[in-house]
Amino acid sequence: MNASKLFVAAVAMPLTATTFAAGSHGDGHGSDIGEPGHASDVSRTIEVQMYDNYYEPEAIEVVRGETVRFVVENKGRLVHEFNIGTPDTHEAHRDEMKMMVEHGVIQGGKLNEDMMNMEMGNGHSMKHDDPNSVLLEPGQKKEIVWTFSSKTSMEFACNIPGHYQSGMYGDVNVESPADTQASAD
Instruction: By CB under 5 A, tell whether 160 contacts Cu ion.
Output: yes
Task: Report yes or no: 160 and 76 within 8 Å, Cβ to Cβ.
Answer: no
Nearer Cβ to Cu ion (44/77): 77
Residues in Cβ contact with 108 at an 8 Å cutoff, skipping those fewer than 6 apart: 78, 79
CB of 50 to Cu ion, least distance (A): 7
Strands 44-51 and 67-74 come out as parallel
Candidate segments 4-12, 76-84, 143-151, 173-181, binder of Cu ion by CB under 5 A: 76-84
What is the three-state SS of 11-45?
Answer: HHCCCCCCCCCCCCCCCCCCCCCCEECCHHHCCEE
User: Do residues 167 and 156 touch, judged by C-beta distance below 8 A?
Assistant: no
Contact 37, 147 (CB under 8 A): yes
Residue 24 or 165: the one with the smaller Cβ distance to Cu ion is 165
Residues 6, 51: Cα–Cα separation, whole Å: 30
Q: Which stretch binds Cu ion (CB under 5 A): 59-67, 100-108, 130-138, 155-163?
A: 155-163
Least separation, in Å, of the C-beta of 20 and Cu ion? 17
Contact range with Cu ion by CB under 5 A, out of 65-73, 125-133, 159-167, 171-179: 159-167
- Count residues near Cu ion (CB under 5 A): 5
Our finding on whether 68 is near Cu ion (CB under 5 A) is no
The residues pairing with 108 across neighbouring beta strands, listed in sequence order, are none
For Cu ion, the closer CB: 14 or 109: 109
Q: Does 163 bind Cu ion (CB under 5 A)?
A: yes
Residues 79-98 that bind Cu ion (CB under 5 A): 80
Q: Is 131 exposed, middle or buried (0-12, 13-18, 19+ CB in 10 A)?
A: middle
Residue range at the interface with Cu ion (CB under 5 A); choices 1-9, 62-70, 98-106, 157-165: 157-165
Pick 62 or 158: Cβ nearer Cu ion: 158
Q: Which residues bind Cu ion (CB under 5 A)?
A: 80, 158, 160, 163, 168
